[in-house]
Amino acid sequence: MSEFDETDFDEDEMEELFEDENHISPEEMFKMVMINKVKGTTVHVELFDKEGEKVALPDVIEQLLEYIETKLGNEDENQFVDQIMPLMAQSLVSGLGRMLGLRHAAFFLSNEMSRVALVNMMSIAFLLLKFVQQNDLVIETFEEAISEEEVERIQRKAKASSQATMGSILGLDPKEILQNLVDQGEIDQEEYDAIMNGDDDDN
C-alpha cells in the first residue's frame, strides 16, 4: 500500500471538498492570483474610509453584485443596462481578442457562462472604481516577500487543484487525478494532503 492509499476520504468528505463552496471563500481559494512574480511578493489591498476605518472588500463586492442583479431585473430603462454593460461587453470582446488572440478569446466567449461572468466582473470593476471614488476611500497595498521556491510550490498546488476541480466537473474522480499527479512527481504527498484538506496557508 502506498503512502497515498493510506489517506482515506469518504464520499461525504469528497463532496464537501469539491461541491460545497461555502467552506472556503473565493479570496482564500484563489490567492495564487495575488502573487507578483516579478517583485517576488504576495500582494493584497485593503480599503479604508476617511476616518481610517477598514471597509471590507468582500462585503462591497457582494453589495455590487446585488446592485447588478437588481438592475438586470428592472424592466425600466436604466443607464447601467443600456450603457455600462454594453460598453463592458464591447470592451471585453475587443480587449480579450487583442490580448489572447482570437482563438483563445473564442474559448472564453463561446461559453455563455464564462462570457456572462466576464462581462459582469468587468461591470463590477467599473462600479467598484466609482464606489471608491464617490466614498473617498483609500487603497492601501500590503506586500510580503516570497521565495521562488514558495512560488513554484504554490503554482504546483494551484495547478493540481485546478485539474482535480475540472476533473470533478467532467465527472472524473478528483482523488484519482491527484493520485496520478503524485505518481508522476508533479506534487508531493504534503501538497496532496493540503489540497484534499482544503488548507490554504500559502500566503
106-123 pLDDT tens trace: 888 888 888 888 999 999
Confidence category of residue 56, pLDDT binned at 50, 70, 90: very high
> Would you say how long the chain is, in residues?
203
Distance CA 30, CA 102 (A): 26
Choice between 191 and 51, residue whose per-residue pLDDT is larger = 51
Q: What is the mean pLDDT of residues 83-98?
A: 92
> Which of 199, 198, 192 shows the shortest CA–CA distance to 16?
198
CA pair distance 72, 81, nearest whole angstrom: 7
Picking from 160, 139, 128, 108, the residue whose alpha carbon sits closest to that of residue 45 is 139
pLDDT band at 28 (very low <50, low <70, confident <90, very high): low
Q: Given this model, what pLDDT does residue 196 score? A: 65
29-49 average pLDDT score: 79
Higher local confidence (pLDDT), 14 or 98: 98
Q: How confident is the model at residue 22 (pLDDT cuts 50, 70, 90)?
A: very low
43 near 95, Cβ under 8 Å?
A: no
Q: Which residues pair with 54 in a beta bridge?
A: 48
pLDDT of residue 20: 44
The position carrying cell 487583442 is: 98
pLDDT higher than 70, residue 98: yes
Cross-strand bridge partners of residue 139: 47
Q: Is the pLDDT of residue 77 over 80?
A: yes
**Residue pLDDT, tens place only, 123-157:** 999 999 999 999 999 999 988 888 888 877 777 77
* DSSP β-bridge partners for residue 145: 41
Cα gap 156→129, rounded to integer Å = 33
187-195 average pLDDT score? 69
- On whether the CB atoms of residues 194 and 157 are closer than 8 A, the answer is yes
Strand residues in the chain grouped as ranges (E):
35-36, 41-48, 54-55, 138-145
Packing angle, helices 174-183 and 189-196, rounded to 10? 160
In this predicted structure, what is the pLDDT of residue 178? 72
